[in-house]
């Protein structure tokens, strides 16, 4: 029996993962990645880089992608909570321009698999969030792309209740909409 549950989403290739957590009065243990079990669940990416970030409440990072070196990502939150989003940028996909979103937190311990060809971003819902992710290709700064987080053509339903203003980087404030992207 697997320690992982792989749930397919409305977009082919995007998967939400839940894993068994073994806990007692001392704390908990969980397996977060196992190559053979992931392959059985449809994830065959060979991860080559791990990243970690920390962000404060109402920070929105994204939506980011690599133009010619697309990365598949396995993302999770180890502290706090975020609303995580993947937007399909695969021009030949029947779901081009659609998105999947999920709340990831240290409490639900869910992971989100985002295949190559997607823009990715997240909104921090807690006071602080620590975010970790695996990538199947290296990061090339000159290859980075971004798209508008609130593009009306995509219509992402960010959980903005009670949020008056989000915090964006200067770079993310200038990102174009989906139909202005070129890569």
**Would you please indicate which residues are annotated as catalytic (active-site) residues?**
64, 133
CA distance readout (Å), 167 to 10, 61, 132, 147, 150: 29, 9, 20, 16, 13
Question: In degrees rounded to 5, what are phi and psi of residue 106?
Answer: -70, -20
146 forms beta bridges with 64
Instruction: Determine contact, residues 98/14, Cβ cutoff 8 Å.
Output: no
Structure tokens at 181: 């992207």
Cα separation, 104 vs 96, whole angstroms = 24
In angstroms, the CA 24 to CA 21 distance is 10
Alpha helices in 11-100 (DSSP H): 35-40
Residue 34, φ and ψ in degrees, nearest 5:
-150, 110
Radius of gyration of the chain (CA): 16
């Amino acid at each position: 029996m697997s320690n992982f549950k792989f749930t397919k989403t409305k977009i082919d290739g995007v998967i939400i993962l839940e894993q068994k957590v073994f806990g007692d009065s001392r704390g908990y243990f969980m397996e977060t990645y196992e190559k053979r079990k992931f392959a059985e669940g449809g994830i065959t990416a060979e991860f080559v880089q791990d990243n970690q970030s920390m962000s404060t409440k109402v920070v929105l990072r994204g939506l980011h992608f690599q133009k010619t070196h697309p990365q598949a990502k396995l993302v999770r939150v180890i502290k706090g909570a975020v609303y995580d989003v993947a937007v399909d940028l695969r021009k030949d996909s029947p779901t081009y321009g659609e998105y999947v979103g999920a709340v990831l937190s240290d409490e639900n311990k869910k992971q989100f698999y985002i295949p190559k060809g997607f823009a990715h971003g997240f909104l921090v819902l807690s006071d602080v969030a620590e975010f970790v992710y695996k990538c199947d290709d290296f990061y090339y700064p000159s290859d980075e792309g971004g798209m508008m987080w609130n593009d009306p053509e995509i219509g992402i339903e960010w959980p903005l209740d009670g949020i008056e203003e989000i915090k964006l980087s200067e770079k993310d404030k200038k990102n174009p909409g989906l139909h202005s992207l070129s890569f």
